[in-house]
Amino acid sequence: MVFFALGTVQCTGGARQKQNNMQTTDHLKGGNGEQETDKTFHDFTALDIHGDRFDLATLKGKKVLVVNVASKCGLTPQYEELQALYEKYKDNDFVVIGFPANNFNEQEPGTNAEIMEFCGVNYGVTFPMMGKISVAGDDQAPLYQWLTQKSENGILDQEVTWNFQKYMVDEEGKLVDVVLPRESPMSEKIVGWITGG
């Protein structure tokens, strides 16, 4: 099993402290009164769960489904569908990446080690799981700023509304679309995007 971390949030003495492990190497460009961005998903780097640098550019050429996950949510059983989706299409240049987040009703209170154990034991998760981050609010991770803001991604504004929101990123690292939390990972919209149908 391989797991990666992309930015972390640590709890110290009851206060959350964000470690800014995510960086971007590109910038926004304005032109003709419109704000454009040449920043992509692949411009972000992070530290994996072992503290090693992980460059999202290594995912060039793959479609990526980015999902904020939680262990104590009514939607937590979606882990099973996410794993099935990953297993079915991983050999077709597709990957699911899970980002544990505790933003919604504190439904992901565990440590990274506890989250990994929970996902493995209960759902057999083998797709890459990132380190716990914030996906909303003042301490929102830079990658999620890019995913949620048209001024950053050039495509759409869509804040994270709850756990298990799914962002679709193409092979060039461009945001394609978003699927809201209650929609199944095996929905026609997602499967059609993966298969080109």
d(CA 164, CA 100): 9
Question: 66-92: per-residue pLDDT in tens?
Answer: 999 999 999 999 999 999 999 999 999
The whole model's pTM is what? 0.82
Say if domain 8-24+35-195 classifies as CATH 3.40.30.10: yes
State the residue for tokens 């001024």: 151
Q: Which of 65, 73, 135, 136 is catalytic?
A: 73
Q: Which comes out higher in pLDDT, residue 156 or 50?
A: 156
102, pLDDT greater than 90: yes
Closest by CA position to 101, among listed 59, 65, 129, 125:
129
- Predicted confidence at residue 9, as pLDDT, reads 32
Domain residue ranges of the chain, discontinuous segments joined by +? 8-24+35-195
CA 36-131-187 angle, to 5 degrees, is: 65
Mean pLDDT of the chain: 83
Question: 137-195: per-residue pLDDT in tens?
Answer: 999 999 999 999 999 999 999 999 999 999 999 999 999 999 999 999 999 999 999 99
CA 51-135-25 angle, to 5 degrees, is: 60
- Predicted confidence at residue 6, as pLDDT, reads 40
Told to judge if 73 belongs to the known catalytic residues of this protein, a careful annotator would answer yes
User: Average pLDDT, stretch 22-30?
Assistant: 37
Closest by CA position to 185, among listed 100, 90, 115, 83:
83
Sign of CA dihedral 10, 14, 17, 18: positive
Q: Which structure tokens are listed for 30?
A: 């304005």
